[in-house]
Amino acid sequence: MSAVTGHIHSLESFGAVDGPGIRYVVFFQGCPLRCIYCHNPDSWEFSQGIKMTVDEVADKIISLRPFYRKGGVTLSGGEPLAQSEFATQLLRRLKDEGFHTAIDTAGSIPLEKCREAVDLADLLLLDIKALDPALCSNITGADGSGAKALLEYRQSQNRPVWIRHVLVPGYTLVLEHLEALAHYLSPFTCIERVELLPFHQLGSHKWELLGLDYTLKNTIPPSSVQAEQARSVFRKRGFSVY
Ligand code: SF4
């Protein structure tokens, strides 16, 4: 049992896009990055969100256990690894209860601060924002080295990873960037699939509500043809692409 407290942004009991099967998704509050396309800028501030103990969150999930027999639980955010003690204890409790566990992370927390949580995750959903450090800094405010270190660590442990990458016109939806990323990822046998997520405008109103400067307000989401062209870059390298 654990009374460790975390800051939770929200809870989703019927997640269908954050790992295999139907999943309970725990969205953590707080993120050190500032992605220009973030659709949840209200999850950035660490001091906000709902305070909950590990037991309060775990008990909710356990009470709904039959729904997740073929799925599991995903910790997302915000950045779940930023509250590594809470994540570790929650994952440990869920593993003891027999749940499949996943962490959805952008790798912005140094591995030495979150290794235990990473080890407890059956699956890592790793968001690679951009391979090039300068481009990554431009998009997120950080150079992306943490995500690379996390991928190398999971490879060394032979533990599964799904890569996620957002296709942003003018930033990441550029053929040479996609070719370079596919080339970089090719040797990693721990990667089970690559998910290319077309940029969308669904979170733009939140930027306005929070009084934030949204630089992508005139950016048109990728067409289905552009998204398919991007996917083919990764398929050619033998990846399962979604
Ligand atoms: S890592 Fe996720 S939550 Fe954090 S700023 Fe980027 S998109 Fe938003």
Instruction: CATH number of the domain at 22, please.
Output: 3.20.20.70
Residue 226 in domain: yes
User: Between 224-235 and 175-185, two packed helices, what is the crossing angle to 10 degrees?
Assistant: 30
In this prediction the pTM is 0.96
Residue 125 in domain: yes
Mutate to test the pocket of ligand 1, among 8, 25, 38, 138 (most ligand atoms within 8 A of CB): 38
Tokens coding 100? 């499949």
Instruction: Write the residue with the smallest CA distance to atom 6 of ligand 1.
Output: 35
Q: Is 79 in the pocket of ligand 1 (CB under 6 A)?
A: yes
Residue 195 in domain: yes
pLDDT tens sequence for the chain (242 residues): 778 999 999 999 999 999 999 999 999 999 999 999 999 999 999 999 999 999 999 999 999 999 999 999 999 999 999 999 999 999 999 999 999 999 999 999 999 999 999 999 999 999 999 999 999 999 999 999 999 999 999 999 999 999 999 999 999 999 999 999 999 999 999 999 999 999 999 989 999 999 999 999 999 999 999 999 999 999 999 999 99
Q: Is 45 in the pocket of ligand 1 (CB under 6 A)?
A: no
Q: Is 125 in the pocket of ligand 1 (CB under 6 A)?
A: no
Closest C-alpha to 52, from 115, 116, 3, 114 = 3
Cβ neighbours of residue 180 closer than 8 Å, sequence gap 6 or more: 131, 132
Q: Which atom of ligand 1 is nearest to the CA of 40?
A: 8
Q: How many domains does the chain have?
A: 1
CA of 66 to the centre of ligand 1 (A): 31
Residue 127 in domain: yes
Q: Is 106 in the pocket of ligand 1 (CB under 6 A)?
A: yes
Residue 241 in domain: no
Residue 225 in domain: yes
Tally of CA atoms within 13 A in the half-sphere of 75 that contains its CB:
37
Mutate to test the pocket of ligand 1, among 140, 171, 200 (most ligand atoms within 8 A of CB): 140
The pLDDT, as a whole number, for residue 102 is: 98
Residue 242 in domain: no
Helices (H) and strands (E) in the chain, counts: 8, 8
The pLDDT, as a whole number, for residue 1 is: 74
Residue 240 in domain: no
Please provide the DSSP assignment of 17-32 as one string.
SSSSSSEEEEEES--S
State which residues form the domain around 178. 5-235
The pLDDT, as a whole number, for residue 3 is: 82
